[in-house]
Chain A
Amino acid sequence: MKDLLPRLLLQCALPLLLVLLTAGCAPSDSGSTGSDAGTAPRVALVMKSLANEFFVTMADGARAHQAEDPERYELIVNGTKDESDLAQQVSLVEQMVATGVDAIVIAPADSKALVPALRKAREAGVVVVNIDNRLDREVLSSEGVEVPFVGPDNRAGAKAVGDVLAARLEAGDRVAIIGGIPTAFNAQQRQAGFEDAMNELGAEIVDVQSGGWEQAKANVVASALLSEHPDLEALLCANDNMALGALAAARQAGRDDLLLVGFDNIDAVASLVESGEILATADQHADQLAVYGIELALELVASGEGTASEDRQTPVDLVTGDPSPAQE
């Protein structure tokens, strides 16, 4: 009987420790940065995987934007564990609504599954702006909500990148595309843009395969494509990480002449674009993508309208090593 107390203490210790740990960790990333909560609107930025370089850049850009004028609005940044963690993102949206934010700017993990949660947010009077991955229009209209999309035109960007490659090819040349995750909207758009450019030239697209946005996987696919189609002239990769994987494959196969293009303009490819080993990539200004969304959200909060019917397009710039060719 007398050892009941220590045992009870021990029983409580673990949960207590967990609570303390979580509490200790929480404010660093998901905590709000801002001023007096009374007047300034509160904007929640709900991201996909904060493990991904692209989304980290996006979030950092938003934080920097908020820090420039801290009086203007309060920013709460949240992200999910990985890019496909739907359930977590839905509960993030619900939490944000529950804490009474004025606006949610969201990069949806899924273009359909997030719509019901966002409808509830709208019904609670929260302004919702969609960035990065466009919500499915049919689902939006069947749920009866309007959510403006602010984002880059991936298809036009990919077309521009493809055009740089096209200038180096002739009609009838054989090329292949290494795409992203096939269910992702931006992967589909980039593939379409690449296809537009290649079809316009009359090049033959011998194969389109997914590299899963990932270096090692793209490397396996690129190696296989090179052995299967020894006469391949070029590989169009839907992001730069996959272009790096393809570059390693080309070197391994002794195909230094293989032409490569990518997308995203990550730091790692800067020197390769400079040297022409990667012909072109596209910069969609990741650091500004969330900021554009936040700007629209603030406008909508200020005007009291809640939503806009017009989408807003953000710039995508072509990046090449050589400043002269095919810029227009």
Chain B
Amino acid sequence: MTASAPDRPAGGAGWAARSFAPVGLSLALVLLVALFSMLSEHFLSLVTLRTIANQIPPLMVIAIGMTYVLIIGGIDLSVGSVLALSATAAGMAMHGGASPLVAAVLALLVGSVCGALNGSLSVGLGVPSFIVTLGLLEAARGAAYLVSGSQTQYLGSSAEVFAWPIGGLGLSASFLVAMVLVVVAQVVLTRTVFGRHLIAIGTNEEAVRLAGIDPRTPKIVVFVASACLAALAGLFQLGYLQSADPNAGIGMELSAIAAVVIGGTSLMGGRGSVLNSCLGVLIIAVLQTGLAQIGLSEPMKRVVTGAVIVVAAVLDVVRERVASRPKG
């Protein structure tokens, strides 16, 4: 896949270039794939890889938004609920005869409203984003149940447009969209003034303000983007499962935070890389599929998943230390 480009700068500053090199993570990913290939004769196959590729887009796009939110020193706990709310809204609209395009616009609209709410309350009024988005985690989930009458809607082939495999390749359109978004988000973060502002805000917001830049607008933009990406994830899932489930995405915020933090993005802000988050998502996805293929019991799956998340993060920290020592 897209893994293992050599040391790629992602933070702007020199030290950052070293610490964001995705070598450690790629290594962890390769080790995992090798391990599962040994344990299951069917794991290393085109079918499995394609399955993983088609399952990851929702988590992938949410992880992009989460990376940005963490970089500015915030957090967005509402993404799983926003995913469900926008997907059920789109699902109900399509059930009522709306075209997929209208439904998609509606979903993204729902996402923007949620994001604007998160952004304006946390940035405008200075309420910690943890609290604001925790509130929306509850409220949006409730709204999803209200909108759908707590019922799963089956949409059938009309929902295929959002995620159905593109002919020949077997890869879904949503996978390609997610990959393009990863690249765009990484470029915006590392090569644009906007991206530098975000990193600066996360490092020292006061300094940014003193430098004459208003940090509020970029911060609100980030919250809106995060919620819109969650809505997009909702559409991907809607298309992939061909139904809208108000219980969709429960716990998704934690998977996304795990993936992003595995990727070395700091919970304290000012540091992060979309590419590395992408690797974090791949690690989680490979783990999910691999563990299911070797047929581990449910409790063991959870123990192993937790352990791998920690080990992957440790591996990256150790690699970073080793890499920085000679220059030190």
Contacts and interface: CB of A to CB of B under 8 A. Distances in A.
A binds B: yes
Interface of A: 50-53, 56, 182, 207, 209-210, 212, 214-216, 219-221, 223-230, 240-241, 244-245, 247-248, 252-253, 266-269, 271-272
A212 B299 CA distance: 12
Given A215-B245, A216-B241, A216-B248, A244 B154 contact: yes
B289 A223 contact: yes
Contacts of A219: 55, 240-241
Interface string B148-182: 01111110100000000100000000000000000
B242 interface: yes
Interface stretch (B20-28, B258-266, B290-298, B303-311): B290-298
A221 B48 CA distance: 12
B153 A207 contact: no
12 contacts: A51-B246, A219-B55, A220-B289, A220-B292, A227-B42, A227-B47, A228-B43, A241-B245, A248-B240, A248-B241, A266-B151, A268-B243
Contact of A225 (B149, B288, B292): B292
Query: What's the interface size class on B, roughly?
Result: 35 or more
B133 interface: no
Interface of B: 40, 42-43, 45, 47-48, 51, 54-55, 141-142, 145, 149-154, 156, 165, 237, 240-243, 245-250, 288-290, 292-295, 298
A319 to B, nearest CB: 15
B169 to A, nearest CB: 13
A225 B43 CA distance: 11
B51 A227 contact: yes
Nearest 8 interchain pairs by C-beta: A224-B292, A268-B154, A210-B298, A268-B152, A228-B293, A224-B293, A223-B51, A53-B150
Contacts of B165: 252
Contact of B241 (A227, A245, A266): A245
A83 to B, nearest CB: 10
A240 B240 CA distance: 17
B151 A209 contact: no
Contacts of B249: 216
Contacts of A226: 47
Contacts of A56: 149-150
Given A227-B43, A228-B40, A229-B42, 7 more contacts: A53-B150, A214-B250, A216-B241, A225-B292, A241-B152, A268-B151, A271-B156
Contact of A269 (B48, B154, B293): B154
Contacts of B154: 244, 268-269, 271-272
A254 B327 CA distance: 53
B79 to A, nearest CB: 14
B222 to A, nearest CB: 26
Given A216-B237, A253-B51, A230 B298 contact: no
Nearest to B299: A182
A227 B293 contact: yes
B241 A215 contact: yes
A28 to B, nearest CB: 12
Contact of A209 (B152, B247, B290, B292): B292
Nearest to A270: B154
A230 B151 contact: no
Contact of B150 (A51, A182, A216, A224): A51
